[in-house]
Amino acid sequence: MTADLRPSPGFPRVRLRRLRRTDGLRRLCDQPMPGPTRFVWPAFVLAGDGRREPIPSMPGQFRAGSDVLLRDLEPLAVAGVGGVLLFGLPDDAARDAEGSAAWAEDGVVPRAVARIRRAFPDLLVFTDVCLCAYTRHGHCGPLAADGTVDNDAAIERLGRVAAAHAAAGAHVVAPSAMMDGQVAAIRAALDAARLPDTAIMSYSTKFASSLYGPFRDAARSAPQSGDRRGYQCSPADPRLALRESALDEAEGADILMVKPGLFYLDILARLRDRTDLPLAVYNVSGEYAMLVAAADRGWGDLRGMARESVLALRRAGADILISYWANRYDELLRD
């Protein structure tokens, strides 16, 4: 009887620890930590100069006037961080039912964009395109008579906002309102303004998540009544959530996004398999705050947790990481 000389499929011939035995072997086989060029830092811009306000629910983050923001962007530019995503925070007196301050040519965001482009010509500038921080009621568009957001009125105004940001020099506009048809309306508005080269990064699959609390504290953008479940994706309906991104791609989005990230890695991975567009993920405020709070209580190492969370997002398929870790890249993520 001939002996079976085929290699054994398992232990003791196969010892997977061989490739984990030393730092050098692990480095040889591991996927690398995403470099700083993959990161975009979300920044909250206040009206007026000389202002800086810490955000208690997001230690290490702050609201700042655009002049102060320039000082804080300098180390990010030196570190090689890919870009900044601007959220404008107007004074309360500027808010109205329409959100009209959002598309003012001399508004909070256009002014900040122009300053950043002059100071850091190589830094990519993204702008959030929404109305929630500019309306008195805190919703993402003007309200209809029944109190719901008027979708078609909203997308016309979002087009105006995007055009104002692009005219100021934004490289990428990022609609986050989750209105049907918003990408097509913004592309039409940009083309009409002769700004066809401005890219659109759509918040294409954005969930009605419980993880936005610290952001709403930072942006002072919580709705005064009701909620946003009527226009943001349900966490329990993944198929409809994926259709949102497919429609935005068909309307002309240049980059798609999943938001939040860590609770939706399955959606991120499924979307990666369905599109060849660059794919962003928003590592949201609640995800950031949870890890910071755990580390503050001695329940985990912040550097280790931050790095592991970023690797999870990258493994699931993200090309672009919109993350509050970005302004702490050298401290927490650089090898």
Residue 238 lies in a domain: yes
Question: How far, in Å, CA of 287 to CA of 299, rounded?
Answer: 15
Lowest average pLDDT, out of 19-28, 141-150, 164-173, goes to 141-150
Residue 319 lies in a domain: yes
Closest C-alpha to 36, from 90, 87, 76: 76
Lowest average pLDDT, out of 80-89, 92-101, 192-201, goes to 92-101
Tell me which of 149 and 258 has the higher pLDDT: 258
Domain that holds residue 64: 34-330
Question: Beta partners for 46?
Answer: 65, 89
Lowest average pLDDT, out of 75-79, 228-232, 268-272, goes to 228-232
Task: State the chain's mean pLDDT as an integer.
Answer: 92
Instruction: Count other Cβ atoms within 10 Å, centred on residue 17.
Output: 7
pLDDT, position 8: 63
pLDDT, position 82: 97
Across residues 216-227, what is the average pLDDT?
69
Lowest average pLDDT, out of 98-102, 224-228, 270-274, goes to 224-228
SS3 content of the chain, % helix, strand, coil (to 5): 45, 15, 40
Across residues 280-292, what is the average pLDDT?
97
The answer to whether residue 96 scores a pLDDT higher than 90 is: no
Across residues 26-54, what is the average pLDDT?
95
Residue 226 lies in a domain: yes
Across residues 201-207, what is the average pLDDT?
96
CATH of the domain at 170: 3.20.20.70
Question: How far, in Å, CA of 237 to CA of 133, rounded?
Answer: 27
pLDDT, position 145: 83
The answer to whether residue 326 scores a pLDDT higher than 70 is: yes
Residue 23 lies in a domain: no
Q: Which residues contact 301 (CB under 8 A, 6 or more apart)?
A: 295
Question: How far, in Å, CA of 136 to CA of 179, rounded?
Answer: 19
pLDDT, position 141: 74
Site of tokens 């964009």: 113
What does the angle CA 97 – CA 44 – CA 65 come to, to the nearest 5 degrees? 95
Choosing from 206, 228, 270, 328, which is the catalytic residue? Answer: 206
Whether 109 sits among the annotated catalytic residues: the reply is: no
pLDDT, position 65: 96
What does the angle CA 318 – CA 319 – CA 321 come to, to the nearest 5 degrees? 75
Question: What predicted TM-score, i.e. pTM, was given to this entire model?
Answer: 0.93
pLDDT band at 244 (very low <50, low <70, confident <90, very high): very high
Whether 259 sits among the annotated catalytic residues: the reply is: yes
pLDDT band at 97 (very low <50, low <70, confident <90, very high): confident
Residue 14 lies in a domain: no
The answer to whether residue 257 scores a pLDDT higher than 90 is: yes
The answer to whether residue 20 scores a pLDDT higher than 70 is: yes
Q: How many domains does the chain have?
A: 1
pLDDT, position 92: 84
Q: What type of residue is 329?
A: Y
pLDDT, position 146: 85
Residue 100 lies in a domain: yes
Question: 119-151: b or e for each residue (b if 16 or more CB lie within 10 Å)?
Answer: bbeebbbbbbbbbbbbbebbbbbbbeeeeebbb
Q: Which residues contact 74 (CB under 8 A, 6 or more apart)?
A: 120
pLDDT band at 186 (very low <50, low <70, confident <90, very high): very high
Residue 266 lies in a domain: yes
Is there a cis peptide before residue 260, judged by omega within 30 degrees of 0?
yes
Question: How far, in Å, CA of 291 to CA of 308, rounded?
Answer: 11
pLDDT digits (tens, 9 = 90+) for 127-155: 999 988 888 776 777 788 887 888 898 89
The answer to whether residue 224 scores a pLDDT higher than 80 is: no
Residue 11 lies in a domain: no
Question: How far, in Å, CA of 250 to CA of 245, rounded?
Answer: 9
Choosing from 38, 115, 171, 259, which is the catalytic residue? Answer: 259
Instruction: Count other Cβ atoms within 10 Å, centred on residue 283.
Output: 26
